[in-house]
Amino acid sequence: MTSNQNTPLLLIPGPTPVPDQVLKAINTQPLPHRSAEFSAILNDAIDNLKWLAETQNDCFIFTGSGTLAMEASIVNFINPGDSVLALNIGVFSERLAQIAQGITDNVITLKAESGCAIELDQVELALSQNKNIKAVLITHNETSTAVMQNLPALAKICQKHNALTIVDAITSFAASPVLITEWGLDVVITGSQKALMLPPGLSIIFVSKRAWEYVGKNKNPKFYLDLNKYKKSMLNKTTPFTPNVSLIAGLNVALKLIAENGKEATYDRHLKLRKLVRSLSQKYDFELLVEDESIASPSVTAFKAADRITVSDLRSNLKNNHNIIIADGQNDLKGKIFRVGHMGYMFEADILRLDKALGQILA
C-alpha cells in the first residue's frame, strides 16, 4: 500500500492491508457455489496456488482461519499412538504440537530459545534415535519470534528418515519461496490474511502423494476437516461445504497481482523490506530478537523492548498519534518485544512512515 495518514497502517503479522483491486472483487453479490461460474473461479484459484507453490500436489481451500488448516494438517495424517517430532520455536509451533498431543501421546518436542531456529543436527539426531517417528511438525516462519527456519534442509533430513513433513507456511507463503515439489514437502498449509493480501477467512492445504497414503490409514473421527470429502468434491470442481465464494474470487485477483509483479520480485521486495525494518534497530537503538539474519523472517521483525519506552506506550503512541498498528509480543514475550509485520501489500513508503513516526516519538 502506499501509505495514507488517514488509513490505519497495519504493520502487524496479519491481518494485512488488502489491495483495492482485491477489495473490489470481494465486494460483489455472492455467486451460487454450485454453479459453472464459481467452479471456474475455484479451479483458477487452485491452479494459481499451485503455480505459486510450484507443485502439482493436491490443493484444497477451507473456509476458516489458519488454525483450521493446522488442525486439518494433523487430524488427517496422525493416528493415536503415532510418534511425532515437533519443532517448537514459538507460539504457533507450540499450537501445532498441542493439536498433535490431542491425538497422540507420543509427541517428542525439540525446543529452541526465543529468537532461534532448531539446529539441523538436533533434528537429525532425534530422527536417528527415534526410528518410528512418522511425521515432523515444522513452522516455516514463526510469527511470534520472527524466525524463519531452513525448510529445504529440514525437509531433506525428514526424507532421509522417511518422516512426513507437516509444514505451517502461514506467514511465509507468498512472502518467500515455498517450493513444495522441489523441496519434497508433504503437507503444507497457509492462510489468507497474510502475504496473500486477503482478509481473514480462508486457509489452504497442499497434500503430497505420500501424504495421501497416511490419509488412507487414518482412523480419527472428522467431518468438516475430512480431506477425502474435499478430494471427492474437487473431481467435480466444487467443495464439500459452502465455501467463502467472495474471498476465493478475491484470492484470484491477489494471485494475479503477484503474477503481474512477478514471484521473484515479490520475494525480493519482502527481503528489501526486512532489511529496511531491521535497519531501524540501529537507528533507534532497539535490539533485534533475531540477530542472525540467515534465520530472520522476511515477513515480520521483532525488536526487544528498551528501558526508555514500554511496548504498550510505544504501541499506543503509534496508534493514537500516527495511525500505525504494530504488534506486542505473545505469551511470555508480551511486553518484552514488539513486532513489525511487513508482509503482503506492503512497500518501502509504509516502512518510511513508521520510521518517521518512531523518530518523532523517540526524539
Ligand X SMILES: Cc1ncc(COP(=O)(O)O)c(C=O)c1O
- Position 298 contacts ligand X (CB under 6 A): no
Question: Nearest residue by C-beta to ligand X?
Answer: 66
With a CB cutoff of 8 Å and minimum separation 6, the contacts of 319 are 8, 325
Cβ nearer to ligand X, comparing 171 with 252: 171
Grid cell listed for 237: 470442481
The footprint of ligand X on residues 122-181 (CB under 6 A) is 139, 141, 143, 168, 170-171
CB of 94 to ligand X, least distance (A): 10
**Least distance to ligand X from the beta carbon of 131, Å?**
29
Residues near ligand X (CB under 6 A), total: 15
By C-beta, is 174 or 358 nearer to ligand X? 174
Q: What nine digits make up the cell of 255?
A: 494471485
**Contact between residue 11 and residue 356 where contact means Cβ atoms under 8 Å apart:** no
Query: Given the complex with ligand X, which of 317 and 330 has the nearer CB atom?
Result: 330
- Contact status, residue 206 vs residue 165, Cβ threshold 8 Å: no
* Residues contacting residue 198 through CB under 8 Å, at least 6 positions apart: 18, 22, 26, 192, 247, 250, 251, 254
Of 47-106, binders to ligand X (CB under 6 A) are: 65-67, 70, 92
Distance of alpha carbon 292 from alpha carbon 101, whole angstroms: 31
Question: Min. distance of Cβ 157 from ligand X in angstroms?
Answer: 21
Checking phi first, is residue 125 left (phi over 0); if not, alpha (psi -120 to 50) or beta? Answer: alpha
- CB of residue 92 vs ligand X: minimum separation in angstroms? 4
Positions in 9-28 near ligand X (CB under 6 A): 13-14
CB atoms within 10 A of CB 261: 12
Cβ at position 362, least distance to ligand X in Å: 28
The residues that touch ligand X, with contacts defined as CB under 6 A, are: 13-14, 65-67, 70, 92, 139, 141, 143, 168, 170-171, 191, 200
